Chains A and B, each alone.
Chain A
């Protein structure tokens, strides 16, 4: 009997342990008391970004004449960290946020508008300013942005004598031609997360679709394109479970001749033998302007209650979006400067980024129209994609059905 009792105690103990550990988490360091030290929170916790961003931060620290204490957390943990810290009144002096989250956090009253500190917000790409604007006030600046484009395998295209597609029809026929054996023509991410919605936006927006009216024929038409690509076998049925990282892996492994993806993959692509190039995402009909979503991070000044320090932090944020930092950040991290007048100079320096740089000028932010309501619609979008790609609904009905979930 004794063994059984011990066993049960052990099992019960094991059941409790995680709870106890979870209880210990949280906390975190408070804003440092030293007036010349700025605390910084960001999510660049992976190399090479971690070091590259550290260099930029160090430059601005020297520029503004402060010392910095930086903390980097994994991307998925950032918002939770921010919320935790705001309830314990220990927000950092400078906070990096993914651009679709800025309005949500600004709406809570946790951020200081940059106009409080006379920060110049002119000359930036409109899309990224929209993303950082809440109730008419700009809450943050982004040094660089990224967006989506179409990567293609140059060798495969040359062997087949093909040109990169510019329209959806060409995309479909090119993808079909390049599908053979275990190589698919195209790969994209249709996963049931915001990532899937983000990948769908270039098709939806380019076709004139809109997140304020998801059940429009334009959106259904864009969804039909994805259904056709999967239905004809040009794209794997697994796209509904692929993250963008998985899509890149498929492309690198030679299992996809084209992929919809962003320039943050370029460093990884350049480490492989794949001979790649990129173009803008194809449009439905010739003459349409490709509209892609803007990605990228915005540096903000949280309300910490210390006005003098907040002013320093604002100066720091302004420095992070200065010309020099923008150009070096764009070059080292394969992103696009947000000050549009820097773009020609940048493309000259980094020609492989030409397609993405062009795309940024017309790119839109996800929260530009709906603000803090965006996540709800983003959920409907990825659910509609899942319903349509698995045959549970036609593209015409998918958005309506997803909206009920």
Chain B
């Protein structure tokens, strides 16, 4: 009985879109479909179009680089900050609140701001670099650099999420453990490796899995910064899905792209569930 609202909710907001998306990927679903309601079955044709398109493998690689790079950066910096804020010092609450700022900013605003910061000619970052004697970097103009720039911005956006959750996890580690360890001579790095990390593991799992699933489907940042360019250097599967559906109006192909993305996310979700089950068993 109590499950009914939740089940209905899941069916309505998860089941329907997912099934619809799956069905769409096997249909020739175009602008005409909206008027006529006709969407002929095409079998795997959309998936073949996707896999055979010249941008598929580059986009897969970019998706992987973008996700791994973003998560690694967000997590390491986020963890470092979370550990840092564990100490008591004046203004720590205020500073933590300030750290949330990137999270509160609408993504499209954040990307517009970063676009002007990273501008090659008049961006503040290059002005800083040249003023200290380094050379200007074509952040968003060079196909070799753009992906790195996009990842850096995404790291900046993801840090608050990581800090917040990891900080919450750190609060749960009893102070006594550290005290006991310090009596045994474990301080600094040692206590971090042997006490903080193992105790934080469940939270780390959550952060990483949610981070991966979230990062896989990022489009706003990339659209706002480079629109998938220059010369397709920042195309990801999510961007391909968006462009097929909402720029080219090939909804079937767009659905196929997003299903591939869902499949990749599912793999991570399964890892996550298994990891969780193990903890319960322990």
Given the complex, which residues of A lie within 8 Å of B193, measured CB to CB?
none
User: B13 near A: Cβ within 8 Å?
Assistant: yes
Residue in chain B with minimal CB distance to A401: B54
Q: How far is the CA of A50 from the CA of B241 in the complex (A)?
A: 32
Known: A80-B246, A405-B232. A4 touches B12 (CB 8 A): no
- Tell whether, in the assembled complex, residue A110 and residue B231 are in contact, meaning their CB atoms are under 8 Å apart: no
B31-39, B93-101, B184-192: which one contacts chain A?
A: B31-39
User: A67 near B: Cβ within 8 Å?
Assistant: no
User: A8 near B: Cβ within 8 Å?
Assistant: yes
Binding site secondary structure of chain A: helix
Known: A192-B229, A376-B248, A386-B229. A241 touches B115 (CB 8 A): yes
Residues in chain B within 8 A of chain A (CB atoms): 12-14, 17, 31-37, 53-55, 115, 119-122, 138, 140-143, 165, 168-169, 171-172, 202-203, 206, 210, 214, 226-233, 246-249
Question: Which among A20, A23, A86, A241 is the interface contact of B226 at CB below 8 angstroms?
Answer: A241
- Tell whether, in the assembled complex, residue B171 and residue A8 are in contact, meaning their CB atoms are under 8 Å apart: no
Can you list 23 contacts pairing A with B, beta carbon distance less than 8 Å?
Answer: A4-B169, A4-B203, A8-B206, A11-B165, A19-B14, A23-B13, A83-B34, A86-B35, A105-B31, A191-B227, A192-B226, A192-B232, A237-B141, A238-B121, A238-B140, A240-B229, A241-B227, A255-B122, A375-B248, A379-B247, A387-B231, A389-B230, A390-B230
Known: A7-B168, A11-B206, A11-B210. A236 touches B229 (CB 8 A): no
Question: Which among B141, B172, B249 is the interface contact of A3 at CB below 8 angstroms?
Answer: B172
Expressed in whole angstroms, the minimum distance between the Cβ of A251 and any Cβ of chain B is 14
- Tell whether, in the assembled complex, residue B31 and residue A108 are in contact, meaning their CB atoms are under 8 Å apart: yes
User: A300 near B: Cβ within 8 Å?
Assistant: no
A residues 67-113 touching B (CB-CB < 8 Å) = 79-80, 83-84, 86-87, 104-105, 107-110
Known: A8-B206, A108-B32, A405-B53. A237 touches B120 (CB 8 A): yes
Given the complex, which residues of A lie within 8 Å of B14, measured CB to CB?
19
Q: How far is the CA of A7 from the CA of B167 in the complex (A)?
A: 11
User: A404 near B: Cβ within 8 Å?
Assistant: yes
- Tell whether, in the assembled complex, residue B227 and residue A390 are in contact, meaning their CB atoms are under 8 Å apart: no
User: A182 near B: Cβ within 8 Å?
Assistant: yes
User: A15 near B: Cβ within 8 Å?
Assistant: yes
Given the complex, which residues of A lie within 8 Å of B32, measured CB to CB?
107-109
Given the complex, which residues of A lie within 8 Å of B53, measured CB to CB?
405
User: A285 near B: Cβ within 8 Å?
Assistant: no
Given the complex, which residues of B lie within 8 Å of A110, measured CB to CB?
34-35
Known: A83-B34, A108-B32. A405 touches B122 (CB 8 A): no
User: A383 near B: Cβ within 8 Å?
Assistant: yes
Question: Which among A105, A107, A182 is the interface contact of B122 at CB below 8 angstroms?
Answer: A182
- Tell whether, in the assembled complex, residue A23 and residue B12 are in contact, meaning their CB atoms are under 8 Å apart: yes
Expressed in whole angstroms, the minimum distance between the Cβ of B252 and any Cβ of chain A is 14
Q: How far is the CA of A7 from the CA of B55 in the complex (A)?
A: 39
User: A193 near B: Cβ within 8 Å?
Assistant: yes
- Tell whether, in the assembled complex, residue A4 and residue B172 are in contact, meaning their CB atoms are under 8 Å apart: yes
Given the complex, which residues of A lie within 8 Å of B206, measured CB to CB?
8, 11
Q: How far is the CA of A105 from the CA of B30 in the complex (A)?
A: 11
Q: How far is the CA of A20 from the CA of B14 in the complex (A)?
A: 9
Residue in chain A with minimal CB distance to B226: A241
Question: Which among B17, B31, B141, B214 is the interface contact of A241 at CB below 8 angstroms?
Answer: B141
